[in-house]
Amino acid sequence: MKKFQTELKWAVYYGIALLAWMAIEKVSGLHDQYIDRQLMYTNLFGMIGLAVFYLAIRDKKMNYYNGQMLWVQGFISGVFLATFITVLSPVYNFIIYKFISPQYFDNMIRYVESRNL
């Protein structure tokens, strides 16, 4: 498991960034007052996600492979990073929808019903 310690560390960093992003969305009203704009702004997190992947693979290259990494090694690192993020995502989602924004689904249901979609 020590071989993939970097990927696990960055999967946790990704989760922290996600939780911070959701807290910012909540505070800015994108989960209630401005829920109609939430879909557009939540996609901006993709850039943060890409930055986390870049930093993780760069960290792996510099600290594990001593600055020399093959494409295949970077690909495998990215696959394991994505796997760890996927495994941890239920925990992140639980925190988001239980503590950060517990009314999100009710608000979204009301919004969709009001638009007669």
Helix axes 5-27, 35-42, angle to 10 degrees: 150
Query: Looking at residue 93, what is its pLDDT?
Result: 97
DSSP state of 37: H
Sorted by where each begins, the domain ranges of the chain are: 2-114
Summarised one tens digit per residue, pLDDT across range 65-107 is 999 999 999 999 999 999 999 999 999 999 999 999 999 999 9
**What are the CA-CA distances from residue 79 to residues 8, 86, 94, 106, 107 (Å)?**
11, 10, 24, 35, 35
For residues 66 and 63, what is the distance between their CA atoms, to the nearest angstrom? 6
Summarised one tens digit per residue, pLDDT across range 16-38 is 999 999 999 999 999 999 999 99
Query: Looking at residue 117, what is its pLDDT?
Result: 58
Q: Is the pTM of this model over 0.75?
A: yes
pLDDT at 116 over 80: no
C-alpha count within 13 angstroms, C-beta hemisphere, residue 21? 18
